[in-house]
Amino acid sequence: MTSFNDIFRKQSWKDITSSIYAKTDKDVEQALSAEKRSLEDFKALISPAAAPYLEQMARMSHELTLRRFGKVIQMYVPLYLSNECNNICTYCGFSYDNKVRRKTLSSIEIMQEVAVIKKMGYDHVLLVTGEANQNVHVDYFKKVLELIRPHFSHISMEVQPLDLEDYQELKPYGLNTVLVYQETYHEEDYKKHHPKGKKSNFLYRLETPDRLGQAGIHKMGIGVLIGLEDWRTDSFFTAMHLDYLEKQYWQTKYSLSFPRLRPFSGGLEPKVEMSDRELVQLICAYRIFNEEVELSMSTRESERFRNHVIKLGITSISAGSKTNPGGYAVEPQSLEQFEISDERNPSQISQMIKEQGYEAIWKDWDFSLTS
């Protein structure tokens, strides 16, 4: 069976980068006027040539999002189960070589965290762990899903990539959505950022969305960590990956996230800086390229920025997030994976959404319509 790797191997990072930066005003105007946008059009929309067209792109992105999703913003919250990890990653607070106290939540501790999250109003939770197969493995995930399933209408997971059979086993336990970020599609530099651990296997991670599609997972999320490499080229590969997945696994729903590198203990400085204006350009480019994909915004971004992008294409947003295991109730002072920027609580975010004429939705509306 084919996989995205078959398409990926035919591409040249250098050639794609050159092609993006060679786009002209004419290319941008053609992309904006097209009835259906191609990957070449997406190149134009993320190129430097598109910068003067940002207001037009923002209006178009707003209109397309309203037409497909209406005036609703989905609320979600991460629940960090463990900071144990066997990988060395240059940008992550959970990296194996970062000498901190490790913790994996017990069943009792998980329910303490769930109690706080439910009081916040959430009905959609994102389970997050480091990658440590000896402790946070498939059997552990089964126990967690079985434990919390009665309390949430939608459960997402962002953990280590698993085998096809593992995803097939977890699906009956209530797993709705899996997020797996490639971090960067630049294979050589990927290896520099992931020198040790299972995550160093670039190909295994690259083919994870194929395994998710084959397992029939309801929704998957993809993306890169902005700052590791040229954001335009990495984003193009993300769009190419999305385009492939939608054609290959058309029954699956998709979401995109665009996290910018944030500080952590002993952190990595971004190789490439991305301005707020450029992030707005990317959000709008994704929406204009694909009207169906969900676009997610985390608490990595500032209060001011998140206020301003609500109407520009975003469909889901987190609030009150803790990026450490036990952060809500059990052990608030444990190591965070990264520093959050927007520290407002969920009710404040919900009010902000309401003031902009939108409605905060506390569960995944797509799944609720099919369940």
For the entire predicted model, the pTM comes to 0.93
Number of domains making up the chain:
1
Which DSSP string do the residues of 318-361 spell out, in sequence order? E-S---STTTTTT-TTSPPSS--S----HHHHHHHHHHTT-EEE
Distance in angstroms (rounded) separating the CA atoms of residues 274 and 296: 17
For residue 337, is pLDDT > 70? no
Highest mean pLDDT pick, 2-11, 96-105, 330-339: 2-11
Q: What is the pLDDT of residue 253?
A: 97
Q: What is the pLDDT of residue 332?
A: 67
pLDDT-derived band at 342 (thresholds 50, 70, 90) equals confident
Buried residues in 217-252 as b, exposed as e (16+ CB within 10 A): bbbbbbbbbbbbbbbbbbbbbbbbbbbbbbebbeeb
Q: What is the pLDDT of residue 263?
A: 55
Q: What is the pLDDT of residue 370?
A: 38
Q: What does the pLDDT average to over 24-53?
A: 98
Q: List 155's β-bridge partners, or say none.
A: 125
Which tens digit of pLDDT belongs to each residue from 229-239? 999 999 999 99
Q: Which amino acid is at 173?
A: Y
Which tens digit of pLDDT belongs to each residue from 273-330? 899 999 999 999 999 999 999 999 988 888 999 999 999 999 999 999 888 899 999 8
| Domain CATH for 273 | 3.20.20.70
Distance in angstroms (rounded) separating the CA atoms of residues 12 and 18: 10
Q: What is the pLDDT of residue 369?
A: 39
Which of 16-25, 42-51, 55-64, 354-363 bottoms out in mean pLDDT, i.e. has the lowest? Answer: 354-363
Q: Are strands 219-223 and 154-158 parallel, antiparallel or unpaired?
A: unpaired
pLDDT-derived band at 339 (thresholds 50, 70, 90) equals low
pLDDT-derived band at 368 (thresholds 50, 70, 90) equals very low
Q: What is the pLDDT of residue 371?
A: 38
**pLDDT over 70 percentage in the chain:** 93
For residues 126 and 173, is the Cβ–Cβ distance under 8 A? no
Q: What is the pLDDT of residue 92?
A: 79
For residues 322 and 299, is the Cβ–Cβ distance under 8 A? no
Q: What range defines the domain where residue 289 resides?
A: 4-370
